[in-house]
Structure 1
Amino acid sequence: RRAVVPSLHKRFLSVMVDKVFCKCAERLVEKLETYALSGEPVNMEARFSQMTLDVIGLSLFNYNFDSLTSDSPVIDAVYTALKEAEARSTDLLPYWQVGL
């Protein structure tokens, strides 16, 4: 509990909102504006996932994935790992690797 409580202090959260969440949200708005101007359909789930990855990277790992503005093999690897984890956690049957 002692390790977590300082990260929930009002001052710390205020800084995180200003420096991380707002900047990531601004990047998302810029990305969405380009879609709005072109009239192209937007995959909102993908855009929100990218923003979420950027927020998590900056706030927890101090790493800027910059997934809203650039493609990277690191980003692809993260999404692959997350999809696999989601599939394993939501499947009704346990996951076994069976050699055929």
Structure 2
Amino acid sequence: MEEKFLEIVDESGNLNSKLFSLIRIKILWALSELGEDGATARQIKNGLNIGNDGSTYSNLNALVDMGYLRMQKVPFESKENLELYTITPSGLEEWNKIKKWLDMLIGEEK
């Protein structure tokens, strides 16, 4: 048990501590599943039950700033642009690290 604990602690050093917010982890997970299709901020907020627009956008912007998400404006009904978010290769790599660490933590390492 002590050996496993030490392995989990050691592995946590490979993770980006700025990601350790439930909202940010949920966003990375969801966008990793959606792949290149991505999602709008509204879809992310509603799909993940994130409380409000401010929380949604502050977390999306932080992930964009870290290079884990890409945001592009896409036309919608020819009058406004929607912000579409997709996961980047480095975001997917970081998500896989988090997923591996969480698997270790709950004892489901493969």
TM-score, length-normalised on structure 2?
Answer: 0.30
Structure with greater helix share of residues: 1
Q: State the structure with bigger RCO (CA 8 A, min sep 6), 1 or 2.
A: 2
Structure with greater strand share of residues: 2
When Rg is computed on C-alpha atoms for both structures, the one with the higher figure is: 1
TM-score, length-normalised on structure 1?
Answer: 0.32
